[in-house]
Amino acid sequence: MTTQPDRLFAQPHSELQDFAFNEDVVRVFPDMIKRSVPGYPTIVENIGVLAAQFAQPNSVLYDLGSSLGAVTQALRRHVRTEGCRVIAVDNSHAMVERCREYLHAQDSMFQELLPVDVQEGDILALDFAPTSLVALNFTLQFIDPEQRLPLLTRIRQALLPGGALILSEKLRFEDEQQHTLLTDLHIAFKRANGYSELEIAQKRSALENVMKPDSLEQHRERLLAAGFSQVVPWFQCLNFASLVALP
């Protein structure tokens, strides 16, 4: 299980392909996400802490768009609730394969971890079991905008009383000046983490058709429309935020 530094966009590409969660990305993903998403390690660890407050006995905890299972690992470090199990779902074959290897490594290092099932599949086609915790950690922004409300509605319907959805996303800002300021500050964050102007520009174009961030107001309205009763931001660093939505 080797992880490499992210140099995917370091050389000039004459024709940039749309960003995809393929084997090349899997190889560099832990480095890429840490250097690209301000607050990522804090968010992941604290999803475990929050989850321990919402987990109900004998229920499922979902990690949707699990990538390499960072959130699943945090859930297994923090949740001790009787009879819980984790279902991690991702539609990238390369991610799922590597995620299973990481979780086997976690299994061999710790005892009494929650059981976990890593499923390769589309979260839009998921038949949800009764759940007390759903994590969408930077996944909704990659879902077709038309499908976001139907997905959140299905999640809301599967949530048990006392449970929660944790939703982390890159944000767009409705005020243009605020949007420009936080976008520029995010670019400064990437530069400070060793990315060149070329890497930043090429990744931005590769993501353009693939990742479509919403504003905080859009998230709040959509979550309420999906049947959630409360939406509480618990973390923001620059243009990246995480919300708890209660049924």
Ligand X SMILES: O=C(O)C(=O)Cc1ccccc1
**Which residue, judged by CB position, is nearest to ligand GEK in the bound state?**
65
User: Which residues contact residue 171 at a Cβ distance below 8 angstroms, ignoring those fewer than 6 apart?
Assistant: 182, 213, 214, 215, 216, 236, 239, 240, 241
Chain-centroid distance, C-alpha 117: 17
Choose the stretch contacting ligand GEK; rule: CB under 6 A; options: 107-115, 138-146, 218-226, 238-246. Answer: 138-146
Residue 66 annotated as lining a ligand binding site = yes
Q: Which residues make up the interface to ligand X (CB under 6 A)?
A: 32-33, 36-37, 170, 203, 207
Q: What is the x/- site pattern for ligand GEK, positions 78-117, by CB under 6 A? A: -----------xxxx--x----------------------
Residue 204 annotated as lining a ligand binding site = yes
For the record, the structure tokens of 107 come out as 């299994």
Is residue 44 near ligand GEK by the rule CB under 6 A? Answer: yes
User: Which residues contact residue 95 at a Cβ distance below 8 angstroms, ignoring those fewer than 6 apart?
Assistant: 21, 26, 29, 66, 67, 68
Is residue 70 near ligand GEK by the rule CB under 6 A? Answer: yes
CA distances from 126 to 72, 90, 102, 118 (A): 18, 11, 23, 13
Choose the stretch contacting ligand GEK; rule: CB under 6 A; options: 5-13, 67-75, 197-205, 222-230. Answer: 67-75
For the record, the structure tokens of 243 come out as 């919300």
Is residue 140 near ligand GEK by the rule CB under 6 A? Answer: no
d(CA 196, CA 189): 11
Residues in contact with ligand GEK by the rule CB under 6 A: 21, 33, 44, 65-67, 70-71, 89-92, 95, 122-124, 137-139, 142-143
Residue numbers in the known binding site are 40, 65-67, 90-91, 122-123, 137, 204
